[in-house]
Amino acid sequence: EVQLVESGGGLVQPGGSLRISCSASGFTFDEIAMSWVRQAPGKGLEWVSGISWNGARVDYGDSAKGRFTMSRDNAKNSVYLQMNYLRVEDTAFYFCAKDVGPTTAGHNWFESWGQGTLVTVSS
Amino acid sequence: QSVLSQPPSVSGAPGQRVTISCTGTSSNIGANYDVHWYQQLPGTAPKLVIYGINKRPSGVPDRFSGSKSATTVSLAITGLQTEDEADYYCQSYDSSLSGYVFGTGTKVSVL
């Protein structure tokens, strides 16, 4: 059974930094791309970032470019999202999602999701 | 900043059929990238209900179906049940953004 468990969320001040993590199990982690998707309270889904199976390719949504960095450690079956220069509008649940292929690609979808970790940016 | 447009809400009585549209542009749905659908029950993570326009994952009832016409894709729920009350999102890929995109989301209410 695929399991994705996010951690590291919390309260941070505007302009601050936070790193969230996702621990995966139940599948061959080092063959699959992973993504972060966020959802502000009461709002819709927004793709944040995706990383290829070996970490060589990382793609970002517009809101993450220049501020967020996604990485992975295949030895630990984990992906991470380092978030810098956080803004109030970054407040959201951050979901870890399992892709169906080795890279972010045109016909792919998310077949499994974690339960999310809440990041709150507020002074 | 959703790239794909969906109606905010649809509703129907138990047993009825409802459809949700997802409209894109020439850089996503119009470029023939696949569209997928997720169901999100209150307070839970999204769950895949349709992939590749019209394919159902194992365990998803055949009441859920998908179709496509030009730059619009649709999700249909036939024989609507109370447990279908949820938010539904379409998802695709956008070549101009080089990333995945989601629809604005549709709340399905069972009257």
pLDDT tens track for B20-73 = 999 999 899 989 999 999 999 999 999 999 999 999 999 999 999 999 987 789
Residues of A within 8 A of B56 (CB-CB) are none
Residue type (1 letter), B63? R
Interchain proximity B95–A115, CB inside 8 Å = no
CB B41 within 8 A of CB B99: no
Interchain proximity B99–A61, CB inside 8 Å = yes
Interchain proximity B36–A109, CB inside 8 Å = yes
Coil vs helix vs strand at A53:
coil
Rounded to whole angstroms, the Cα distance separating A29 from A92 reads 26
Residues of A within 8 A of B34 (CB-CB) are 106-109
pLDDT of residue B69: 85
Give the distance from residue B16's alpha carbon to the nearest chain A alpha carbon, in angstroms. 26
Give the distance from residue B44's alpha carbon to the nearest chain A alpha carbon, in angstroms. 7
CA–CA–CA angle A41, A46, A47 (5° rounding): 140
Average pLDDT over all residues of chain B: 94
Give the distance from residue B79's alpha carbon to the nearest chain A alpha carbon, in angstroms. 25
Cβ pairs bridging A and B (under 8 Å)? 73
Percent of chain B exceeding pLDDT 90 equals 89
In sequence order, the 6+-apart residues with CB closer than 8 A to the CB of B52 are A107, A109, B34, B36
pLDDT of residue B1: 59
What is the average pLDDT across B81-90?
97
Tell me, rounded to whole angstroms, the distance of Cα A36 from its chain centroid.
Answer: 2
Residue type (1 letter), B39? Q
Residue pLDDT, tens place only, A60-107: 999 999 999 999 999 999 999 999 999 999 999 999 999 999 999 889
